[in-house]
């Protein structure tokens, strides 16, 4: 199935991804991981929630850690729209797709629309979030991997073609994709709104599940520094894959797991995709440079492990094709 023609004039204007709420078992252990080791900044802390932002971000939070009886699950993924009228247009659009819509209250956010995509991933859209003073030049705060901003989500989908069609209709544009040569179906795809390689990506697999949430850093050497820190502070077992350079996106990467099994990517050195006529790049599923430009395949866990969304049933992938997997 070919990549759909980009919808350059969607019914509502999504600016970018914004935040994610992750359910965790122990807020102290999660704070030690995300703040003390990784380097995110605390904006608010309660007995049940920890709100975090990265160093360039002015919004109140890009990560919410929520103490839960169902740890290792994802509550919701958030996106920011351009103006207040886009929220009403978004409500109408999701209703037209047969998706549930609810207006909800969220701390530090204005009017917020809760809905879900075609496979059930819970999504929320807002236009206003509390703004905080800039800290990106307060260099004494920089530690860990020095995360600058949230970059993208990646989710398992049982049918990547249908997921891409849904988000394409929402105005997300494909930058790169992996096609299975035998079936001519999509095995994975990367879609953006903000002008990078992706805000949302889909990988073929049992889903919907979150594959990872990624943070952008300025320098690949910061990733090397983080590995040294993890190796000497009790987190060596949380290192899953990398470091390396993706063929797809050209990004220098590292994948790690938090204490509850949520996968985090550290991401650097991708490229701009602002032009409306930017042509997507096609990759063959069996190309050894697809996963890693240097040819190193990913471990099996990278294709199988993900975290479920609260209250959302999963189904097995419809496409049986498999990539190259490390022995």
Q: 322 pLDDT exceeds 70?
A: yes
Domains of the chain: 14-131 (3.10.180.10), 145-309 (3.10.180.10)
Q: Is beta strand 200-204 parallel, antiparallel or unpaired with respect to 185-192?
A: antiparallel
Distance CA 132, CA 112 (A): 19
Distance CA 246, CA 265 (A): 12
CA 160 to chain CA centroid, Å, is: 16
Task: Give the mean model confidence (pLDDT) for residues 28-34.
Answer: 98
Give this prediction's pTM: 0.97
Q: 301 pLDDT exceeds 90?
A: yes
Eight-state DSSP code of residue 6? P
The CA distances from residue 130 to 110, 126, 219, in Å, are 8, 11, 29
Please give the mean pLDDT across all residues of the chain.
97
CA 258 to chain CA centroid, Å, is: 15
Three-state SS at 290: helix
| Phi/psi at 78 (5° precision) | -110, 150
Q: 267 pLDDT exceeds 90?
A: yes
pLDDT score of 2 = 76
Task: Count the neighbouring beta carbons within 10 Å of the beta carbon of residue 194.
Answer: 18
């Amino acid at each position: 199935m070919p990549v759909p023609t980009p919808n350059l004039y969607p019914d509502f204007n999504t600016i970018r991804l914004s935040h994610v709420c992750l359910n965790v078992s122990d807020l102290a252990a999660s704070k030690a991981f995300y703040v003390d080791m990784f380097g995110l900044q605390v904006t608010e802390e309660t007995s049940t929630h920890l709100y975090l932002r990265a160093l360039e971000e002015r919004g109140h939070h890009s990560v919410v850690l929520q103490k839960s009886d169902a740890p290792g699950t994802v509550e919701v993924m958030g996106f920011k729209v351009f103006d207040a009228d886009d929220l009403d247009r978004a409500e109408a659009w999701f209703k037209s797709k047969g998706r549930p819509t609810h207006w909800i209250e969220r701390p530090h956010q204005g009017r917020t629309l809760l809905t879900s995509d075609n496979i059930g991933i819970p999504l929320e859209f807002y236009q206003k979030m509390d703004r905080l003073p800039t800290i990106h030049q307060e260099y004494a705060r920089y530690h860990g991997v020095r995360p600058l901003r949230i970059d993208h989500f990646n989710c398992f989908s049982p049918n990547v073609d249908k997921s891409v069609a849904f988000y394409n209709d929402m105005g997300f544009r494909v930058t790169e994709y992996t096609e299975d040569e035998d079936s001519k179906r999509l095995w994975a795809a990367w879609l953006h709104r903000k002008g990078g390689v992706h805000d949302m990506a889909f990988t073929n697999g049992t889903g919907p599940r979150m594959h990872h949430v990624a943070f952008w850093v300025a320098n690949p050497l910061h990733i090397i520094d983080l590995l040294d820190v993890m190796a000497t502070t009790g987190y060596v077992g949380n290192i899953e894959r990398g470091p390396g350079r993706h063929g797809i996106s050209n990004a220098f990467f590292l994948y790690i797991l938090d204490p509850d099994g949520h996968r985090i990517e550290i991401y650097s050195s991708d490229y701009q995709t602002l032009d409306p006529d930017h042509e997507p790049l096609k990759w063959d599923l069996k190309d050894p440079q697809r996963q890693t430009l240097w040819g190193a395949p990913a471990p099996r866990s990278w294709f199988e492990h993900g975290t479920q969304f609260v209250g959302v049933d999963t189904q097995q992938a419809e496409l049986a094709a498999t990539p190259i997997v490390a022995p």
